[in-house]
Amino acid sequence: MRSSVSGRQAGGPPSHRKELPSTLRTARAPPPPAPRRGGEPIRKDGAPAYFTSLPVKAMVQKMRAAGIPAALSYTAGSFVCNSLMYTLLYLIDRQYPAMRGGFIHVPYAMEQAVSKPLGTPSMELHQIARGLALAVEAVVENERDLTVNR
């Protein structure tokens, strides 16, 4: 089965797997090239929300077992990350129903965090790369997600 894992470096908690993007943009952030108001649907013809089809619990479990901090999140935020994940899952729903997809927040590399506010989440670059590789391995190894809450 084909899979797509999108990600964005957002400086959030280390390696969060996202389960649910919603259809509404709600955060106020610097506007994209064509400004949009908050609360507008990302896709007027889309579902109110889409759940990821990736084995996110298995991804988190595999990373933690290797000593890499990871956590499950039930939201992709409310602006860029949410829009990216929602659009990916919308396209999968409409055009690629045999494909699985989801989103990962990636922390800053430690050298990038130096210029960020104190306490900004960061991780060694080799750990980020290893965590992403383990996440992909979990996708390949697990057709369905684990039923355990971790």
| Residue 141: active-site member | no
3-state helix, strand, coil in the chain (%, to 5): 30, 20, 50
| 28, 36, 94, 150: the active-site residue | 28
Query: Cα(86)–Cα(42) distance, rounded to whole angstroms?
Result: 8
Would you call 40 a catalytic residue per the annotation? no
Catalytic site includes residue 81: yes
DSSP β-bridge partners for residue 3: 100
Q: Which helix (H) or strand (E) holds 63?
A: helix 56-65
Is 126 a residue of the active site?
no
Q: Single out the catalytic residue among 16, 17, 19, 25.
A: 19
Report the C-alpha gap between 131 and 66 in whole angstroms: 8
Q: By the 8 A CB rule, do 7 and 84 touch?
A: no
Report the catalytic residues.
19, 28, 81, 105
